[in-house]
Structure 1
Amino acid sequence: MRYLPLSEADRVSMLDKIGVGSIDDLFVDVPQAARRSGPVDLPMYAGELEVEAQLQAFAAKSVSPSKVPFFVGAGAYRHHIPATVDHIIQRSEFLTSYTPYQPEIAQGTLQVLFEFQTQVARLTGMPVANASLYDGSTAAAEGVLMATRATKRNKAVLSGGLHPHYRETVETLAHAVGIETEACDLAIDDEAEVLNHIDADTACVVVQTPNVFGTATDLTQIAAAAQAAGALLIVVVTEVMSLGLLKSPGEMGADVVAVEGQSIGVPLSFGGPYVGLFAAKEKYLRQMPGRLCGETVDADGERGFVLTLSTREQHIRRDKATSNICTNSGLCALAFSIHMSLLGQEGLKRLAKINYAKAHSLRDRLAAVPGVEVVTPRFFNEFTVKLPKAAAPVVEALAAQGVLGGVPVSRLVADPAFGNHLIVAATETVSDTDMDAFVQALKAVL
């Protein structure tokens, strides 16, 4: 296909049509400090060997989670992924699969997504789930948009334990469409404050469990309060592995569930791509974003799969679409589904129990370090400690000793009250030797 560039007259006509004077006017919302004033500082050309050598040098500066004791979490977790997952997703019929624009001839893709939806529904304890979204944060934001449509209200209450990156994603999308957001103060355990923010104008309450500090909360009381006020409860889960052990959001009364599914089947990969899981009560089915795949029979009575619901703007609904999600993390959803199938229900439970035991073993060891206080009251595989000094330089000093010791809260949010707080995660990949190395390094640094 040949590339035919626009003429100057074409550009002028397009700018006139949308009502701006120049291309620069399209970027007025981008802060000046974020704009480049010149080209990127890179050579204009280089040979393939030179480029390869430079990229390898860049890569060598990174420390792989598998090479050192690794306790980083805060929304992205290192778990063991069976080799079978990578083998299957690299099969040609999966690796090149994309959105089924002609669903009737994409039976394999549709069946995979149907099975994926079934797994997500069972995990979350909800009756319906969609065919995935980009990641957990965008799933949470889509849940807020859905709640305002369903309730005809315009205010979202965001809990103080919601991951700051999720909060920012929700606030960005909400601002774009005129939804009011009311964020509770950052808190390790904020159930009481959330209840105080619910009123007759509230469309939804967004609560995370386990929250960014690792605190696991039974949300039954918040669900009852929200629904009594005519609002929806949106439950956010950043560590999907916790659903193998803790009470499901559906059991706690959630109306909508937004989950980051990265922990199952998807590697860390420098922050993405990940996979957003989205589920809801059946009465909100037609308000759900993205797509839903369903099972039916063809004219001959044979089992088949169809694109049951597709509310995105590229299909018939266009400007009436409930979402502008144009695709899904299809390959990541497949990886998730393969890993879940390998684990099975009992395997997931056992793996979740191992995570729980590892984290609590680490908690006991760190609590014995002079000056270290564990502040998370109840948790799954992640918790927060308060150090006797600022956490950020401690993490850098630990890294210099070959231990990646967690995420300083100050890296997520600028709140001086939490400057000494460190979020620590321990999954099944952490050994006793890793824990001993962490404790010894921390004692030396403190």
Structure 2
Amino acid sequence: MSFVGLSDSEEQRMLRAIGVGSFEELLAAVPKQARLQKPLAIDGPLSEIELRRRFGGNARANAAESAVSFLGGGIYDHYIPSALNALAMRSEFATAYTPYQPEVAQGTLTAIFEFQSLIAELTGCDVANASLYDGATAAVEAALMARSQTGRARVVAAGAIHPHVLQVLTTYLDGRDLTLVAERGGQVAAEDLEAALGPDTACVLYQHPNFFGLLESPQTLHKLAHDAGALVIAHCDPIALALLEPPGATGADIVVGEGQCLGNSPSFGGPLLGYFACRASLVRRMPGRLAAETVDRHGRRGFVLTLQTREQHIRREKATSNICTNQGLLALRATIYMGLLGREGMREVAELCVQKTHHAALLAAAIPGYRLPYDGPFFREFVLECPADAAAIARAGIERGILPGVDLGRFRPEWRRRLLVAVTEQRSASEIERWADVLRAAGGKG
């Protein structure tokens, strides 16, 4: 069928086929008062020039189009190499569908296999899947997998985990099966976690770096969880893993996270990219798709989908997940990004984030009325306590072309004077100074 709209004759043919005389007759079951009795107030057809002009004007009305961003909280403004867009925007990638037929989908399967290999190396795990919807649903799938593997019900979420991840966990789990261990001083306190563990604990979930940007103590958390017979789920930032010791190498059973920062733009909060990796003994319970290497009948190397555990492919009672779609195009972008930068390039990006974030934190802490409430080491973002409401400072920043950080009051009212500030490798010294000027000027407002 053409996608340019229906002609009158085509519409009449469709109506005759379903046994009605007119479009109005088709809507007879809808109460008359609920139906619009006049045409919608929309403009007529526009030319391509007019459309570009209109949408360009809409884009320029968005502060983020030209503002300098210090926003973080899970979505970050990292530099995207030009070569990435040149490759990922090729039509054969943009229009690719599920690679069910390996004989015609070797390109897609190869890209998925490379993504899995890179994520496995980055996380220190044995195997990774083809990707999931986002970091939050990846965390939930990991928790459900841990419950299935251990036969235990309770999930312990430890420390400063992103509130959105906790909301998704709460949606999926019975409230009695989710224990939240509050952060203390911004991080997980070992004694608090130990007190929360028990024989019914399926897994411990922690975020590293956590929601406040602070680094946790993975080896301590891993030992406490394993001593209680529970699995460990580490929710990690992939850029940070270029510097930090891979959690899979220090005992994490499952490593998940948000992969937007790997070559995908912040856009308007999405689309996002979840990654999922685990140790080999858990692979048969892994959700989503898995591309694997094989040979064809001539002995030539090739790739296929394997170990598909969703209910569409096997008996429902044997299925481990109903996840059926990976973020193929975004995972491809992440693969190209990691391939372009390489090990040293990823490390350089991470080091620049650390250096610039600490420079900004020191600058802010020297401004009267501002302070850093947490003492722990941090990676790419930090919490800044302000002398005025963070929302007021954010509004003042927009007026100056600066997005100064995430207002944490959006998540808890007691955090209304706290900004979560992220500084990526893109931010220059002059931009950081402009950001500090916003703090100085707005500090007395509120």
Structure 2: gaps of 5 or more residues: 2-9, 21-33
Whether the 8 Å contact between 2:409 and 2:416 is mirrored in structure 1 is yes
Query: Partners of 1:143 and 1:6 in 2: how far apart?
Result: 47
Q: Could you say if the C-alpha distance between residues 317 and 45 of structure 1 is closer, same or farther in structure 2, counting changes exceeding 3 Å? A: farther
1:8-27 deviations in Å (ceiling 9; x for gaps): 9xxxxxxxxxxxxxxxxxxx
* 2:368 alignment partner, one of 367, 370, 377: 370
Q: Residue 361 of structure 1 corresponds to which residue in structure 2?
A: 359
Q: Within 5 A, what are the aligned runs for 1:164-243?
A: 164-175=163-174, 180-185=177-182, 187=184, 188-192=186-190, 193-237=192-236, 239-243=237-241
Question: Using the alignment, how far apart are the partners of 1:86 and 1:173 within structure 2?
Answer: 36
The amino acid of 2:45's aligned partner reads E
Match of 1:419 in 2: 416
Tell me which amino acid in the other structure corresponds to 2:181.
Answer: C
1:276-315 aligned at under 5 Å gives the runs 276-315=274-313
Moved more, 188-197 or 145-154: 188-197
Structure 1 residue 53: Cα displacement: 6.3
Equivalent position of 1:31 in the other structure:
none
Partner of residue 247, structure 1? 245
Q: Could you tell me which residue of structure 2 aligns to residue 90 of structure 1? A: 89
AA aligned to 1:47 is G
Cα pair distance change 1:51/1:87, threshold 3 Å: closer
What amino acid sits opposite 2:272 in the alignment?
A: Y
* Structure 2 counterpart of 1:325: 323
Q: Name the CA distance, whole Å, in 1 between partners of 2:56 and 2:91.
A: 28
**2:128 matched to 1:129?**
yes
Q: How high is the sequence identity, in percent, across the aligned residues?
A: 43
Give the secondary structure class of the aligned counterpart of 2:367: coil
* 2:62 is aligned with 1:62: yes
Change in Cα spacing, 1:6 to 1:234, as seen in structure 2 (3 Å) is farther
Contact 2:188 2:216 in 1 (8 A): no
Structural mapping, 1:103-114, within 5 Å: 103-114=102-113
Q: Which amino acid aligns with 1:92?
A: S
Residue 46 in 1 paired to residue 38 in 2?
Answer: no
CA shift at 1:155, angstroms? 0.8
Gaps of 5+ in 1: 9-36
TM-score by length of 2: 0.87
Residue 51 (structure 1) shift: 7.3
Kindly indicate whether residue 254 of structure 2 is the aligned counterpart of residue 256 of structure 1.
yes
- 2: CA distance, partners of 1:145 / 1:6: 45
Which of 350, 353, 361 is 1:352 aligned to? 350
Q: CA deviation at 1:256?
A: 0.6
Q: Which has the larger radius of gyration?
A: 2
Whole-angstrom distance in 2 between the partners of 1:319 and 1:200: 26
Structure-2 separation of matches of 1:279 and 1:191: 26
Q: Does 1:437 align with 2:405?
A: no
Residues 69 and 435, structure 1, Cα contact 8 Å, conserved in 2: no
Letter of the structure 1 residue corresponding to residue 164 of structure 2: H
Contact 1:73 1:407 in 2 (8 A): yes
Secondary structure class of the residue paired with 2:347: helix
Residue 207 of structure 1 deviates from its aligned partner by: 0.2
Distance 1:195 1:420, change over 3 A: farther
Conserved 8 A contact 2:393-2:438 = no
CA contact (8 A) 1:220 1:253 kept: yes
Q: 1:73-88 counterparts in 2 under 5 A? A: 73-88=72-87
- For residue 249 of structure 2, give the secondary structure of its aligned residue in structure 1: coil
Counterpart of 2:31?
none
1:218–1:252 contact (8 Å) kept in structure 2: no
Amino acid at match of 2:60: A
Using the TM superposition, name which of 348-357 and 317-326 deviates more.
317-326
**Any residues of structure 2 matched to 1:374-413 within 5 Å, and which?**
374-376=372-374, 377-411=376-410, 413=411
Q: Secondary structure at the match of 2:291?
A: strand
Secondary structure of the structure 1 residue equivalent to 2:276: strand
CA change 1:7–1:257 in 2 (3 A) is farther
Write the distance in 1 (CA, Å) between the matches of 2:103 and 2:179.
44
Cα separation, partners in 2 of 1:421 and 1:51, compared to 1, 3 Å:
same
Contact 2:84 2:263 in 1 (8 A): yes
Give the residue type in structure 2 aligned to 1:61. Answer: A
In terms of mean alpha carbon deviation, does 348-357 or 192-201 score higher?
192-201
1-side partners of 2:52 and 2:107: how far apart?
37
What is the rounded CA distance, in whole Å, between the counterparts of 1:247 and 1:38 in structure 2?
61
CA distance in 1, matches of 2:208, 2:195: 18
Contact persistence 1:78–1:429 (CA under 8 A): yes
Q: Which deviates further from its counterpart, 44-53 or 430-439?
A: 44-53
TM-aligned CA deviation for residue 232 of structure 1: 0.9
In structure 2, the CA distance between the partners of 1:38 and 1:83, relative to structure 1 (3 Å rule), is farther
> How many matched pairs?
412
Distance 2:307 2:44 in 1: 49
